[in-house]
Amino acid sequence: MTKPLALGIIGHPIGHTLSPVMHKTAAKSHGIDLTYDAFDIKPENLESEIARLRDLPLDGFNVTVPHKVAVMEYMDELTGDARLIGAVNTVVNQDGRLIGHNTDAYGFITSVTKNGDVDLANKSVFVYGAGGAAMAVCVGLAQAKAAKIVIANRTEDKATKLAERIFQAFGQVQTEAVGYDSNKLVETISTADIIVNTTSIGLEGGDENQTLPGADNFSGSLLVDIVYKPLETEFLKSASAKDIKTLDGLWMLIHQGDQAFWLWTKKRFPVDLIRVTLIEELG
Ligand code: NAP
C-alpha cells in the first residue's frame, strides 16, 4: 500500500467542483488511501485560513475561483507557470513550504495535442476571452510555439493587455488584439487554424444561448471550447454540424487535474476512467 495522502480544494462557493471525484477516482485506481476535503473559504478569510491549512497534515490542495490570484501572496515559492499565468491552481506542501503551481496551461496544451490530435507549433490561433482561463491558454499556446495568437474580448482593453503580456513574456509569438465585433475579427477567424472559446459564454446557468461573434467564419482544423458544462456547448454543436473537428473543455480539466495529481503522487490519472466518471457526474 502506498502512503496515505491528505488533499483538498479551496474556493467559494465550493459545491460545484469536480476535483474531489477526479482525485478520489485516480487515488482508488492506484490503491492510494486519500482524503480530499472541500474548504469553502470566503475571500476576507483567505490569509487566516491558509495559515490554518499550513498547520493541518495536508500534502497539498487545489485552488479554485475566486482565490487563484489572491493565494499567490501566501505561497513560499511560485513555479514558472504560476508566475507567467499570474495565478495558482495547485499547491504542494513540501516539508512545510507551500509551493504554488499552475497546471492549466499544461492541461490545455495536452488536451489539444493528445485529444484534438493537433500540433500547435507554427499555428495561427484565435482566442475569445481575456480572463484568467485565457491567460493560461495563451501561455500554453506560446509555450507550444504557436506562430500567432489573436485575442478578442468583450472588454477590449483586457485583450490588448493580454496580447502585450504574452508578447513581452515570449517574444517569438506574434500577438494581436482585435475588436469583439469588428471586420478584423471576421477576417482573422477565417484564416485561423485553431479557434478557442475561453469566455463563460455557453456555460450552463449563465450566458448559455449567447453566441460568439464571427465564429461561423471559421473553417480551420480544430475548434475548442474550454467550457465543459454542458459538455457539448452551442459553439461546439454548430461547428460539428459543419463537420469541423471539435474538442470539449472536459479534456483540459482532466489534464490539469492529472498534472496536479502527478505533482502530489508522481502517478498519472487513469484518463479514460476519469472521463467516464466525470461525464456520469455531469449528468
Ligand atoms: P473570468 O476570469 O471571469 O473571465 C471570463 C471571460 O468571459 C472574460 O473574458 C469575459 O469578458 C468573458 N465573458 C463573460 N460573459 C460574457 C458575455 N456575456 N459576453 C462576452 N464575453 C463574456 O473567468 P475564467 O476563469 O477565465 O473562466 C472562463 C470560462 O472558462 C468559465 O466558463 C470556466 O468554467 C472555464 N474554465 C474551464 C477550464 C477547464 O479546465 N476546462 C479551466 C478554467 C476555466 P469581459 O472581460 O468582457 O468580462
Q: What angle do CA 48, 50, 51 make, to 5 degrees?
A: 65
91 Cα to the center of ligand 1, angstroms: 23
Peptide bond into 4 cis (omega under 30): no
The total number of residues shown for the chain amounts to: 283
pLDDT digits (tens, 9 = 90+) for 208-263: 778 999 999 999 999 999 999 999 999 999 999 999 999 999 999 999 999 999 99
Q: How far apart are CA 7 and CA 261, in angstroms?
A: 10
> Which one of 17, 103, 198 would you pick to mutate in the ligand 1 pocket, going by the greatest count of ligand atoms within 8 A of its CB?
198
5 Cα to the center of ligand 1, angstroms: 32
State the DSSP H helix or E strand holding residue 222, giving kind and residue range, or none if neither.
strand 222-225
pLDDT digits (tens, 9 = 90+) for 16-58: 899 999 999 999 999 999 999 999 999 999 999 999 999 899 9
What pLDDT does 1 receive? Answer: 56
| Cα distances (Å, whole numbers) of residue 275 to 68, 177, 181, 252 | 24, 34, 35, 11
Res 59 pLDDT > 60: yes
35 Cα to the center of ligand 1, angstroms: 30
Give the residue, by CA position, lying nearest to ligand 1 atom 34.
227
158 lines ligand 1 (CB under 6 A): yes
How deeply is 167 buried, as exposed, middle or buried, from its count of CB atoms within 10 A (0-12, 13-18, 19+)?
middle
User: Contact 7/35 with Cβ under 8 angstroms?
Assistant: yes
Ligand 1 atom with the shortest distance to the CA of 155: 47
Q: Is 174 helix (H, G, I), strand (E, B) or coil?
A: strand
pLDDT digits (tens, 9 = 90+) for 155-213: 999 999 999 999 999 999 999 999 998 999 999 999 999 999 999 999 998 877 789 99
Q: How far apart are CA 255 and CA 105, in angstroms?
A: 10
pLDDT digits (tens, 9 = 90+) for 108-165: 999 999 999 999 999 999 999 999 999 999 999 999 999 999 999 999 999 999 999 9
